[in-house]
Chains A and B, each alone.
Chain A
Amino acid sequence: MHGHLSQAEFLAGMAAFLGVFYLSLAIMNAIAAAFLWESGRGVTLFRVNVLGLYSLPFTTPILWLLVALYFVALSPLAFSGDPYMMWWVSLPAVVIDTIDYWVNPTVYTVGSLVFFGSLFWMRRFFVKPVVAWCCFNLVLLFMGFSMTNQSFSAIVTKADNVPIVGLMFLLGFFTWLATSRAVANDDRALRGEPPLESVDNEKVLVWPDLVYTELICMVAVLALLLVWGLLLQAPLEEPASSVKTPNPSKAPWYFLGLQEMLVYYDPWMAGVVLPSVILFGLIAIPYLDFNKLGNGYYTISQRKFAYLNFQFGFLVLWVTLIVMGTFLRGPNWNFFHPFETWDTHKVEALSNVDLSQWFWNDLFGVARPKAPEGSGGFKQFIYIVYRESPGIVFIVSYLVLLPPVMAVTFMRKFFIKMGFIRFMVLTNLMLMMGLLPLKMILRWSVNLKYFISIPEYFLNL
């Protein structure tokens, strides 16, 4: 995929881009500092005692000004294009080695869950503008430092991957915006005040108040598209050939979450059943959510159940898997961390075991039941069901027996409010969503291949 360039040539090519990048970050932080200074919205972080005489406040405008100066200092180093100079704007080898040693699909997925979980638990901390702006700067710095790595820069700047980089920043920003508004509203609710959306909410004329906003948005989007289109050419590879299969063959990026599910489920589940369940589940949301609170304003604590379910499905599963499928899956759909060269010969040992194999061979030490040679179709069917009975019992009890258990235990209130049918739909949708992480965990921990494995009928689950 790459490696045609020597590292020195590669760095020389990146120099202008990275120099401008750091300069832009410097300007961005300088503007932030100036804005906070002008508007008087700066916050004093701590006070510095000078010689025991003065107590000088260290405020956020000063902080962002220092950050801007730091980026100004980085810019000429990056502009130089000289490998020795650019060592200062590259990730230390120890960081890359650590990532190389630790990161695999398990660590990535569990790590994402822990990451989003801690963002949620500590949301009051992370919504603070100082903290959020700090995180934003750190992410940009990490990206800049990583760009001197050929593998990282190749995968991130691939034309069709650029929108996903954009998506990650946009999701970060809008999640921050929504969360900070929700936290503010939740605090107001505790004090018995109405949400921010109710304050100063008289009717205004759509011309000019909305029409102008729309016009500005349209102009901005068109300008962005034009710049994007001029800077980045739409990809066009060699003419189509049905005999030359590229490796990896990837679906369009928005379906890569589904393609990633193929690691754990067969196509009929990952490509047909689960997408249909996702669509049906989205459609069902307004008919399952009986909570009347949180209609028309941002809040988390008034609808925690709906919020957590949605964020688990959207951020933790859908987006995280797309990012993994785009950036971390290489030839043969093997896992490559972002600083690793895509080696087509990388071999990953796979020795996964079906539940029925484990049950009969390992647990009972007998061969799996098999219909005698030459027996009829029906007899064979019975034997197959008998062979796969552990998985069938597991799946049936998971989807049919678990909901009643939930109804009489921790979801009692839901059952009473929703009635039998709606409750079963809700719990089954949740359990179907849970099937994916469940299978992932079982794959990583005990190498489970299929709960039910009936290759005779193409039915593997």
Chain B
Amino acid sequence: MDSLSEIIRNSQIWKSIIRHPMPVDRRNRIVVMLTNFFLHLHPVSAKKQGIALSYTWCMGGITFFLFLVETVTGVLLMFYYRPTVEWAYSDIVALRDVVSLGVLRELHRWGAHAMVITVWLHMYRVFLTGSYKPPREFNWVLGVILLLLTLLLSFTGYLLPWDQLAIWAITVGSNMARATPFLGNEGPGAALLTVGGVDMITNASDARFLTLGARFVGEETLNRFYVLHCVAIPLGAALLLAIHFWRIRKDGGISGPL
């Protein structure tokens, strides 16, 4: 068997795909980090205490992993789900009762909850170790925006099952937008924004309308949240994640005592 695996690893096909030898000695453990696409996010070497699990808690890494889990399960769910008032609910029921591997939605929902928690724990660790201090200030800022995007991803996804839980949670959440100062039709200062006696901010033009695409949570909201949830926010998050990781390297690697 040894020789067979050797034959495979020495074949032209294998070598064309995996460009590094097995990482069994010091040299090749360095080479693997430099030549493997998935590993090249990492540095070749790092401070021992900086990567200790009791120091980092691995919460940032787990958050990213959960982002990937959400992406994969989300794409699979999209095969079955139609974001219309007519079909949304029955598609979710079918996902539960008919589709094989009926844990897809469970993985997606619990993964989303878990991701909110791991983001918080990651920020908690970064704060408690003072890792936002110079030179890492801006990466903390990116992290706060990623926290917001995580919450928005979870919030927009909450509506999609189109059950009682969904529309009323979103109704409660989006009712707040009605009270945005100046931009919500029940917000302080909105009455001041008039042109020639005509109100500029009404329930058909305010911040809540922008969020929902309608005066109340309905068909337009479902479509809007679906696009935000599946396309717009994930793209934004992916871009910021890339910068977040890149900045870890550029700002001096995993934090540690100066």
Contact = CB atoms under 8 A, between A and B. Distances in A.
Contacts of A214: 58, 61
Nearest to B142: A283
A354 to B, nearest CB: 16
B250 interface: no
Interface string B69-92: 100000000000000010001001
Nearest to A294: B130
Interface stretch (A268-276, A366-374, A402-410): A268-276
A238 B137 contact: no
Interface string A199-216: 111111111111101100
Contact of A232 (B54, B110, B189): B110
A244 interface: yes
Contact of A295 (B133, B162, B184, B186): B133
A272 B130 CA distance: 29
Nearest to B131: A296
Contacts of A211: 39, 42
Contacts of A297: 129-130, 256-257
Nearest to B147: A282
A38 B186 CA distance: 66
Interface in A205-240: 205-211, 213-214, 217-218, 221-222, 225-226, 228-230, 232-240
Nearest to A247: B168
B106 A204 contact: no
B177 interface: yes
Interface string B43-75: 111111111011101100110011001000000
B243 to A, nearest CB: 15
Interface string B90-116: 001100100000010111111101101
Interface residues of B, number: 100
B63 to A, nearest CB: 10
Contacts of A233: 96, 106
13 contacts: A204-B46, A205-B26, A229-B107, A239-B162, A258-B176, A259-B172, A267-B178, A267-B186, A268-B181, A285-B132, A286-B134, A294-B129, A457-B189
Given A178-B128, A246-B168, 18 more contacts: A197-B55, A202-B48, A206-B45, A207-B23, A211-B42, A228-B110, A229-B103, A232-B110, A234-B96, A237-B164, A238-B164, A246-B164, A267-B179, A268-B188, A272-B176, A279-B148, A282-B144, A283-B141
Interface of A: 160, 163, 166-167, 170-171, 174, 177-178, 181-182, 194-211, 213-214, 217-218, 221-222, 225-226, 228-230, 232-242, 244-246, 249-255, 258-259, 266-268, 270-273, 279, 282-283, 285-287, 289, 292-299, 303, 306-307, 310, 314, 454, 457-459
